[in-house]
Amino acid sequence: MYFIIIFVVIIAIIVFIHNVRLPKSEVNKKIKYYEAHLKTKYTNVQISRLDTDKSVIKVVFSNNNSYFIKFVYIPNYSQIQINNKSTWELKYGAGNTPGKHQPHKRYLNEIATFMNEDYVGKKIVAFTNNPKEIVKYINESEIIIVNPSTDVYGANLISVHKLDKIVKEE
């Protein structure tokens, strides 16, 4: 009987670590890497994390170009569906199989506060992995495919690996 209880507790701990701690540590690793990358690439840049949301960094260049970058963890080969400014849905679990239905989904609640803030500068949402597809609903019957140059309610969406294409000292 004790073995069953211990086994269930161990499984619960593993699930907790996998679902809660790993995404946060993945985001922190990406933020630290990108901060170091910017500091080596540009000499006159100021980088700071926001007090209200630790997954957002503010990048200010000497010419006062400023960027607010929100880092969001997503699994590999996931799809993002944007319903409105604050309701985004993440679908994942099918892998790289074309045409296969995504079995898991959740709302990206961490996006809502960032998208509703009025920052002075350019807003960017950077995903830890490259999403398979990002779609935005225009109305009930129209959708568009989002690319990095598409303005999504005042923000650009891009993978962390391609951030240098948007964040520049101009």
pLDDT in tens, 135-162: 999 988 899 999 888 999 999 998 888 8
Judge whether 79 lies within some domain.
Answer: yes
Q: In the predicted model, what is the mean pLDDT of the chain?
A: 84
Task: Give tens-digit pLDDT for 4-16.
Answer: 888 888 887 877 7
Give the alpha-carbon dihedral of 47, 52, 53, 56, to 10 degrees: -30
Residue 82 is predicted with a pLDDT of 94
Q: How much is the pLDDT for 22?
A: 56
Q: Is residue 170 part of a domain?
A: no
List all residues 6 or more positions away from 106 whose beta carbon is below 8 Å from its beta carbon: 89, 90
Residue 84 lies in a domain: yes
Query: In terms of residue numbers, what domain contains 55?
Result: 2-165
Predicted structure pTM score: 0.79
Q: Which residue has the higher pLDDT, 93 or 122?
A: 122
Whether 137 is in a domain gets the answer yes
Burial class (CB in 10 A: 0-12, 13-18, 19+), 40: exposed
- Rounded CA-CA distance 131/116 in Å is 23
In a domain, 113, yes or no: yes
What is the model's pLDDT at position 84? 92
Structural domain count of the chain: 1
49, part of any domain? yes
